[in-house]
Amino acid sequence: MHTTHTIALPNRPPLILGQRALVMGILNVTPDSFSDGGQHNLIENAVAHAQAMIADGADIIDIGGESTRPGAALVSVQEELDRVMPVIDALVAAGITTPISIDSYKPLVADQAIQAGASIINDVHGLQGAPEMAEIAALHSVPVIAMHWDKVRDEAKPIIAEMARYFETTLALAKAVGVGRERIILDPGFGFGKSLAENYEVLRELTEVQPRGMPILVGTSRKSMIGRLLDIPADERLAGTIATTVAGYLKGGHIFRVHDVRANRDALRVAQATLYGPPTELG
Ligand code: 7PM
C-alpha cells in the first residue's frame, strides 16, 4: 500500500518513509506565535515547544519565520533570518538531533538554516520561486519538500492534472542542477490556491498525485478546508485534522505536517495497525 523510500540526510540517519508514517511538528517563529515578551523569551519558548513536540513523537521539526498563509504580510530576508536563525542555533545548542526542516522559499534563508543545522528544505514554491533554491539543495545535498502552489493556474482545469504539470517543472529544475527525484518529497499544498472541493478531491485522489510512487507529505493541520466545512475556528479543528491525517495515510501519504503531534501520531499508529497489523518491534 505505501511505497517505501530511504532519503539521505547530511550528518544524520536517513528518513525511512513507508508504512510507518512520519510526523512533522510545526514550529512557527513569527512574533505572534511565541511573543509574551522579547526575543530571549521567544527563543526559549520555541525550544521548549520543539522539545515537547519531540517528546510527543515528532520525527521532524519544521521551522518557519514567515506565516506563509496565502495573502499574509511578506517578511524581508533579514527579518526572516532574525526570527529563524537564533532558534535553529538554540535547538542545536540544546542537543536536539531530530531533523529540522526550514519552511522558507527564500534561498538565502534556506542556505543559512542548513549551515546552522537544518537538513531539509521545505519550499512552498516547489523550487519554482527562485532559481537558486534548487542550487542550494544541490550544494548541501539535502532533500526538498516541494509544495504545489500555482498562483497563476487556470482554475477551469482539473487540479490533479495541473499539479502533475507543475511537479514536472519542479523535477526538471531539480534535475538540471543534479538533484535527483530520490531527494524530493511531493506535497499537494492543501489550502494554497485551491477551492474547498479541490482540497478534498486532492485528499481523495492522493495516490494520483504525479509522478506516482514518489513520497508524499500531507499538510492539512487546522486549515480552512476543515474550518470552512465545519464552520469552526482554528483552535477547534483537531478532530477534523485527525480525520484528514488518517484519510491521507490510508491514501498513501508518508509525512504529516501538524500542530498537534501527539494526537495525530496516536491516530496514525492506530491507522497503521489497521492496515498492516500491530508492529512487531517498536513501530
Ligand atoms: C493557511 C494556509 C494557513 C497555510 C496556514 C497555512 C504548508 C507548509 C504551510 C503545507 C508544506 C500552516 C500554513 N502549509 N509547508 N507551510 N506544506 N510543505 O498551516 O501544507 O502552517 S503554512
Q: Quick check: is 217 in a domain? A: yes
Q: What is the pLDDT of residue 37?
A: 63
* Closest ligand 1 atom to 191 CA: 2
Q: Quick check: is 280 in a domain? A: no
Please report the sign of the dihedral spanned by the C-alpha atoms of residue 192, residue 238, residue 244, residue 118.
positive
Q: What is the pLDDT of residue 115?
A: 98
* Closest ligand 1 atom to 28 CA: 21
Q: Is the CB of 248 under 6 A from ligand 1?
A: no
Q: Quick check: is 282 in a domain? A: no
What is the number of other CB atoms lying within 10 angstroms of the CB of residue 14?
12
| Cell numbers at 82, concatenated | 532574525
Average pLDDT over residues 32-51: 84
Q: What is the pLDDT of residue 180?
A: 98
DSSP 210: S
Cβ contact 227:233 at 8 Å:
yes
Q: Quick check: is 281 in a domain? A: no
- Ligand 1 pocket check: which of 223, 228, 245, 261 to mutate, most ligand atoms within 8 Å of Cβ? 223
- Give the residue whose CA is nearest to atom 17 of ligand 1: 219
Please report the sign of the dihedral spanned by the C-alpha atoms of residue 149, residue 153, residue 156, residue 158.
negative
pLDDT digit string, tens, across residues 227-271? 999 999 999 999 999 999 999 999 999 999 999 999 999 999 999
Q: What is the pLDDT of residue 34?
A: 66
How far is the C-alpha of 191 from the C-alpha of 38, rounded, in Å?
Answer: 31
198: domain range? 5-275
Q: Is the CB of 271 under 6 A from ligand 1?
A: no
Q: Is the CB of 69 under 6 A from ligand 1?
A: yes
CA of 103 to the centre of ligand 1 (A): 9
Residue 186 has pLDDT above 80, yes or no: yes
pLDDT digit string, tens, across residues 192-232? 999 999 999 999 999 999 999 999 999 999 999 999 999 99
Q: Is the CB of 123 under 6 A from ligand 1?
A: no
Phi, psi values for residue 41, rounded to 5°: -60, -40
Cβ contact 166:192 at 8 Å:
no
Residue with cell 481523495: 204
| Cell numbers at 24, concatenated | 512533522
Q: Quick check: is 227 in a domain? A: yes
Q: What is the pLDDT of residue 280?
A: 80
Which alpha helices (H) appear in the chain, and where do they start and end? 38-55, 77-93, 107-116, 132-140, 159-176, 196-204, 224-230, 238-250, 261-276
Q: Quick check: is 41 in a domain? A: yes
Q: What is the pLDDT of residue 277?
A: 97
Q: How many domains does the chain have?
A: 1
Q: What is the pLDDT of residue 7?
A: 98
| DSSP, residue by residue, 242-281 | HHHHHHHHHTT--EEEES-HHHHHHHHHHHHHHHH-S-SS
pLDDT digit string, tens, across residues 114-138? 999 999 999 999 999 999 999 999 9
Q: Quick check: is 147 in a domain? A: yes
Phi, psi values for residue 241, rounded to 5°: -60, -45
CA of 201 to the centre of ligand 1 (A): 18
How far is the C-alpha of 278 from the C-alpha of 283, rounded, in Å?
Answer: 8
How far is the C-alpha of 267 from the C-alpha of 87, rounded, in Å?
Answer: 29
pLDDT digit string, tens, across residues 16-38? 999 999 999 999 998 777 656 67
CA of 281 to the centre of ligand 1 (A): 33
* Closest ligand 1 atom to 122 CA: 18
Residue 282 has pLDDT above 60, yes or no: no
Average pLDDT over residues 93-99: 98
How far is the C-alpha of 83 from the C-alpha of 89, rounded, in Å?
Answer: 11
Q: Which of 257, 114, 40, 58 is nearest to 49 (CA)?
A: 58
Q: Is the CB of 217 under 6 A from ligand 1?
A: yes
Q: Which residues of 86-96 are buried (b: 16+ CB within 10 A; e: fewer)?
A: bbbeebeeeeb
Average pLDDT over residues 66-70: 71
Burial class (CB in 10 A: 0-12, 13-18, 19+), 26: buried
- Give the residue whose CA is nearest to atom 14 of ligand 1: 219
CATH number at residue 146: 3.20.20.20
CA of 62 to the centre of ligand 1 (A): 11
Q: What is the pLDDT of residue 30?
A: 84
Q: Quick check: is 283 in a domain? A: no
CA of 220 to the centre of ligand 1 (A): 8
